[in-house]
Amino acid sequence: MKYLVIVYDGMADRSIPELGNKTPMQVAKTPVMDRLSPYAIVGTVSNVPSGMVPESDTANLAILSYDPRVFSKGRSPLEAMSMRLEMSPEDTAYRTNLVTLSEETGIPYSERTILDHSADEISTEEADELIRAVDAAFGTNEIRFHTGISYRHCLLVKDGDDQIPFARPHDHLGSKIGEYLPSVPFFRTMMEKSYDLLENHPINVKRRAEGKRPANSIWFWSPGKKPALPDFFEKWGLRASVISAVDLIKGIGICAGIRSIDVPGATGNVHTNYKGKADAAISAFSEGDDFVYVHVEAPDECGHRAELENKILSIEKIDTMILGPVSDYLKSLGEPYRIMILPDHPTPISIRTHSMEPVPFMIYDSETKHRGVSSLSEESAAATGLYLPDGTELLSILIKSTDPKEKEATAHE
C-alpha cells in the first residue's frame, strides 16, 4: 500500500464578495481532485487544538499524528533542525523574519507600520547578505544568526528564554508596530538597531531601484527549545519522505526520522516548482517509500499577501501539476494506494493571517468507494456532517482506511 498526503497550506478561506460569496476552493478548477472526491471519505477537521495558536508547526504535527499539545516546542527549533543547526539543550531558537517597515523620515521605530512580513518574498541570496550583516553587528559566541530560506531565518541564543510572548508579524500587517514589539529590551533593541543597519544596505538600495520592497528590519517570534519526536517508522512501519520548501516542515520530518527531499526551485510561493515536487514524490515512491508527504506553501503565502487570483491559481496548479501526475503514477503501479488532501489551517484573504476554523479533508482509497462529494470545499465538507475535533486522528483513518461515519462502501468495480 502506498500513501500520498498533499497539504495545500492555508487553502481554506471564507466567502469572498468578489467571488460571488464563494471561496477560492469553490472557484478554483480542480479536475483531478473532482475525479477523486465523489469516492472519498470527506469531512472537516481541527488540526489546531483549542487554546493553541493556529500555526503551521502545530497543524502539521497533528496531521502527522503527533499531538501538538505534547510535542510542539515552537516552530523555530524545527526550522533550526531543517537548517542542520546544532542545538544544545540550553539553546533557544527564535524565528527571525526579514520584514518591510514604513520608511517615514524622522519618526521613532515604534511608530513605523509593518507593510510586509516577507519583504516581497526576498530571495535567499539577497537575504543571506542581510543576515550576515545582522550577525556581524549583533552576533557573539552565544548569539548567532543563521540564514534560512527567503525571509525566514533563525537566531540561536545560549540560555535564551523560550517563554517570551512575541507577536507574529503576519498578524499585524498594516499596523503601527509599537504595541507589538517585545517587552524584553535585548530583543527590542536589536530590532530597532537592525532598521538603522539595513535601511540603506546596498541590497535594499538595489531592491528599491527594482521596484521591490526593502527588507529593512528583523522581527523575532516563536521561540523554542530543541524538539524530540517519536520515530515515524517505528510508529507506523512506513518508509517515508517529506517534500517542502519550508524549513519548518522539513524540520518536523527530520525530527521524526523522515527523509527530507529538497527540490530545486521550490520557493514557498505561487511561483514554486510544482513539477519538481511531483517528480520528487514519484521518485520517492519508485525508490521504495511507502508514505510521501508533499507540503505546498503557495496558497498560504497568497492569503497573507491578499493575492486572490494567485491563491486560486496556486490551488489549480497543485491539482494539475502535483496531484495529477502523482496519482496517475500510483494508479499505474497496479497496487493499492490512498491519497489524503487537506489544508493545515485556513488563511483567509480577508484577514491575511491564519484562523481557527476547521478545514476540509478528503481521503481517497483506490480499492474502496465511499460516498463523498462532487467537489471538495469548505461548504461541501461541512455538509457531510463528519467532523474530527482532533487532527491527530487523520493518519490512523488514512492508514486503516476506516470511515468514521461508517458510510456505505463497496469495492471498486
Task: Report which DSSP code applies to 19.
Answer: G
In angstroms, the CA 381 to CA 360 distance is 5
What region, left, alpha or beta, does residue 257 occupy, with left being phi > 0 and alpha being psi -120 to 50 degrees? left
Max Cα-Cα span within the chain:
73
Q: Map residue 390 onto helix, strand or coil.
A: coil
401 pLDDT tier (thresholds 50, 70, 90):
low
CB atoms within 10 A of CB 399: 19
pLDDT given for residue 402 in this prediction: 66
pLDDT value at 328 more than 70: yes
Q: Model confidence over 267-288: pLDDT tens digits?
A: 878 889 999 999 999 999 999 9
Task: Report which DSSP code applies to 370.
Answer: -
Q: Are 29 and 315 contacting, i.e. CB atoms less than 8 angstroms apart?
A: no
Q: Model confidence over 123-164: pLDDT tens digits?
A: 999 999 999 999 999 999 999 999 998 999 999 999 999 999
The pLDDT of 338-346, averaged and rounded, is 98
In angstroms, the CA 200 to CA 295 distance is 36
In angstroms, the CA 144 to CA 117 distance is 22
pLDDT given for residue 8 in this prediction: 98
Domain boundaries in the chain?
A: 2-71+228-411, 82-224
Residue with cell 477537521: 45
Q: Are 11 and 299 contacting, i.e. CB atoms less than 8 angstroms apart?
A: yes
pLDDT value at 204 more than 80: yes
CATH architecture of 2-71+228-411: 3-Layer(aba) Sandwich (3.40)
Q: How many CA atoms lie within 13 A of 175 on its CB side?
A: 15
Please give the share of the chain, as a percent, with pLDDT higher than 90: 86
| Total-model pTM | 0.79
